[in-house]
Amino acid sequence: MDHPVSHTRIRHRRGITGVATSIVLLIAGALGCSGMGTGDDSRTVTIRFLQNKSEVIGYFNQVIAKFEAENPGIRVIQDNNEDGFIPSLVRNSPPDVVTRGWAYASGDLARRGVFEDLSGLAEAGRINPDIQSLVAEWGLSEPDTIPALPYSLTAAGVIYNEDLFEEHGVPVPTTWDEFVAACETFNAAGVTPIYGTFREPWTVAQGVFDYVGGGTVDVEEFYSALYAEGGDFGPHSPVTFSNTFADTLEKMDYVLSSSQPNAAARNYVEGNAAFARGEAAMYLQGPWALSELANANPDLRVGTFPLPATNDPADTKVRVNVDLALAIPVGAKHPEEATKFIEFLFREDVISAYNDDNSAFSTLSGARAPEDARIAGLAPYIDEGRFYQGPSQYLPPAVPVEGNLQVYVLNRNGEALLRNLDDDYRRVAARNANRGTL
């Protein structure tokens, strides 16, 4: 997707109506939008930067200090109270710049015109179009608008113990059959193939359903067809979970059966500790686990590969999410200064340092690969645009996908899992259709 880059101003959106139509329960009224002024007659303009990740507060404090030194007329206050965002919209006093993980909830706000269109910023033209499209997948208020600029892309795959792989002569698998062969080799040697932490249902969603489902189903195409059904979705719809994900069940069962016997009773913290001790060869987790593993065992040698869910290596893709995106809310009081701050954050040295520090991938076209060798195995897939957003992430919050998956872990009834997902989604889709929302 090509975007204009000839000017460096946001495209202001005035008089937005209907913003609060479907978020009335959240903000209890219309989301007013007046013209966006730059007005502050004092010599120093103060902008508020709502940053939602507690683990990078210190990093952004350093970045802000550098920005303020180069821009003495602008002061940036870092605000980490994400719960205050919706109330700030009600008061028509939103922050000037926000960071968000961009998924269903952010897309819901974007569809309702909460964020400015940033397609006119030069930075929009520097972003990898394949990565920018991940933002669009969650919905836009108008075609070809850009409600947010993706800043950091995290990729999750199979973390593997390099020493155990070398000791048992197991190559990194590139097909499903090779993955099965690896598991069989480890089993025969008395090594647990996969460490499961299924007591926490999010790990089932991310590491079993998303990896296998995303590797066998065109996730975006499936959900586009699902959403298009609206309130008419039912058992006879062209696409359902039951008729689309049925072929994934056998492979999901295999992943579960290749985990340790007590996987359903172990949580994420216990999994990190156990994997760091060498109790399994593989761990279906994302880069957020790498620092925990290193803290537990500094000598642990690990790499990461995407789970191959078919026997054609060309089909293999990696699960990703836009971990951090930058946006300017409609009604921000200092859009010019906010734009200048965003331009600074997208400087090559600033964005690369952030992603290197967080074992993530830069969103810029032609960006160098991350310096972290532990995720180097995922880099070619990012470069080639071979990635997907997890199927568990596309469902409305009212659909208890994680709860359904945890039940599936316990009873291994895959048909019931898919039937329950169909039934739960049908109820939510019908209710939302009656309300006039997605």
Residue written as tokens 């709502």? 50
**Spatial separation of the C-alpha atoms in residues 412 and 435, rounded to whole Å:** 35
373 DSSP 8-state letter:
G
Could you give phi then psi for residue 98, rounded to 5 degrees? -125, 150
Structure tokens at 394: 């596309």
Q: How far apart are CA 69 and CA 72, in angstroms?
A: 6
Spatial CB neighbours of 262, under 8 Å, sequence gap ≥ 6: none
What is the predicted pLDDT for the residue at 30? 37
Q: Which CATH class is domain 155-319+391-435?
A: alpha beta
What is the sign, positive or negative, of the torsion defined by CA atoms of 409, 414, 415, 418?
Answer: positive
For residue 302, count other CB atoms closer than 10 A to its CB: 22
Q: What local confidence, expressed as pLDDT, does residue 40 receive?
A: 45
List, in sequence order, every residue forming a beta bridge with 361; answer none if it has no partner.
153
Q: Do the first three CATH levels of 24-153+322-376 and 155-319+391-435 match, i.e. the same topology?
A: yes
Pseudo-torsion of CA 61, 66, 67, 72, nearest 10°? 110
CATH assignment, 24-153+322-376: 3.40.190.10
Question: CB 232: neighbour CB atoms within 10 A?
Answer: 12
CA 125 to chain centre: 21
Q: Which string of DSSP letters, residue by residue, matches 252-276?
A: HHHHHHTB-TTGGG--HHHHHHHHH
Residues 121, 339 contacting (CB under 8 angstroms):
yes
Q: Where are the domains of the chain?
A: 24-153+322-376, 155-319+391-435
What is the chain's percent helix, strand, coil content, to nearest 5? Answer: 50, 15, 40
Q: Which two tokens stand for residue 200?
A: 């926490």
Angle at 101 between CA 64 and CA 215, to 5 degrees: 140
Contacting residues for 221 by C-beta, under 8 A, at least 6 apart: none
The pLDDT score that the predictor gives to residue 340 is 98
Bridge partners for 303 per DSSP: 160
Strand positions, DSSP E, 89-148: 97-102
Of the chain, the end-to-end C-alpha distance in Å amounts to 25
**377 CB neighbour count, 10 Å cutoff:** 19
Could you list the pLDDT tens digit for every one of the 438 residues in the chain?
A: 333 233 345 555 433 334 433 443 344 343 333 334 444 445 899 999 999 999 999 999 999 999 999 999 999 999 999 999 999 999 999 999 999 999 999 999 999 999 999 999 999 999 999 999 999 999 999 999 999 999 999 999 999 999 999 999 999 999 999 999 999 999 999 999 999 999 999 999 999 999 999 999 999 999 999 999 999 999 999 999 999 999 899 999 999 999 999 999 999 999 999 999 999 999 999 999 999 999 999 999 999 999 999 999 999 999 999 999 999 999 999 999 999 999 999 999 999 999 999 999 999 999 998 989 999 999 999 999 999 999 999 999 999 999 999 999 999 999 999 999 999 999 999 998 887 766
Residue with tokens 């492979």: 251
Residue where the block lists tokens 């964020």: 115
Phi, psi of 281 (to 5 degrees): -85, -30
Q: Which residue in this structure is represented by tokens 């790990």?
A: 203
- Token pair, residue 72, equals 């003495």
Write the DSSP symbol of residue 364.
Answer: B
**Which run of H or E residues covers position 160?**
strand 149-161
Strands (E), 302-381: 302-305, 318-327, 361-362
Helix axes 414-435, 249-257, angle to 10 degrees: 120
Question: What would the two tokens of residue 131 be?
Answer: 């990565």
Q: Give pLDDT, residue 24.
A: 36
The per-residue pLDDT for 22 is 40
CA angle 105, 108, 109 (to 5 degrees): 95
**Distance between CA atoms of 418 and 224, rounded to whole angstroms?**
18
Can you tell me the distance from the alpha carbon of 206 to that of 242, in angstroms, rounded to the nearest whole number? 19
